[in-house]
Amino acid sequence: MKSICIIGRGNVASHLQTWLSEAGYEVSETNPHTFEGFKPNADLCIVAVTDSAIDEVARKADAMLENSKAIIVHNSGTVPLAELGELSHHAGVLYPMQTFTKGRKLQYNHIPVFVEGDSPETEKALMDLAADMTDNARTADSNLRAHVHLGAVFACNYLNYMLMLAEKSIAPLGLSTYGQLIEETVAKALEIGPEKAQTGPARRGDVKTLWAHMNLLQGHPHTSRVYRLLSQHILNLYKD
């Protein structure tokens, strides 16, 4: 596998192009709307588009590919491999578990990459590719991958949203005020596990402080509901 065609122009597609080029592969970019730049003789087509567009784009790539041995993959965390089941080419999944933003430099060699193939041969070919990309490649069926992605949403997307709420509470100072706190929170959770690492007023059952915070959130009903819900869950978890 040498020639790779990435169909997409978003955050993931942008990073995959850099990542695979650095790994020594010939990489081309294809516009997912017009298919300008499509390489019909590519060994691998990566459909790097939104989940709702995967089926349509994959079918179009399948019809245009001239290399009968080519593999078509998507990189979604939640779309099952079965959704590519009606293609005439072999199919698979190459899911890199990371948050990607265009223009931001990343260390690619430790990013977890989850692989699934529609046959042992396809899966081996994709694992060989993933091994060139990272030292953290592994196979995962669609069910396991969906659970991995669910956890990633909590660990990344929702965590980032919590940071947005924190930043708004101290707008004049800026989020960097919490820099050391954030680093230690994540480091401790990774070291001893999040359940043991939990601290704060809800963890110790400090209802007086919780109500003081709720008073500060008067006039902010959305944030107040989030605070109340999370506090109640933590209180319930550690009530014994």
Angle between helices 207-216 and 221-237 in degrees, nearest 10: 170
- Taking the C-alpha atoms of residue 98 and residue 215, their distance in angstroms, rounded to an integer, is 37
DSSP per-residue string spanning 37-53: T--TT-SEEEE-S-GGG
Residue 191: C-alpha distances to residues 18, 22, 97, 107 (Å): 32, 31, 20, 21
- The total of other beta-carbon atoms located within 10 Å of residue 69's CB is 11
- pLDDT at position 1, please? 83
- Decide: 145 and 77 in contact? Cβ < 8 Å: yes
Residues whose CB is less than 8 angstroms from the CB of residue 193 and which lie 6 or more positions away in sequence, other chains included: none
pLDDT along the chain (240 residues), means of 10: 95 98 97 97 98 97 97 98 94 98 95 98 98 98 98 97 91 89 97 98 97 94 96 93
Superfamily of domain 156-237: ProC-like, C-terminal domain (1.10.1040.20)
**What is the structure's pLDDT at 107?**
95
Angle at 95 between CA 182 and CA 97, to 5 degrees: 5
- Residues 79, 62: Cα–Cα separation, whole Å: 18
Distance CA 128, CA 167 (A): 43
pLDDT of residue 172: 78
| Cα 112 to Cα 110: distance, rounded to the nearest angstrom | 6
Domain 3-140: give its CATH architecture.
3-Layer(aba) Sandwich (3.40)
Please give the model's pTM, rounded to 2 decimal places: 0.93
Question: CA angle at residue 137 from 136 to 140, to 5 degrees?
Answer: 130
Q: Which residues pair with 26 in a beta bridge?
A: 3
CA angle centred on 122, ends 55 and 51, rounded to 5°? 20
Would you mind telling me the total number of residues written for the chain in this entry?
240
Name the token pair of 136: 């953290």
Name the residue ranges covered by the structural domains of the chain: 3-140, 156-237
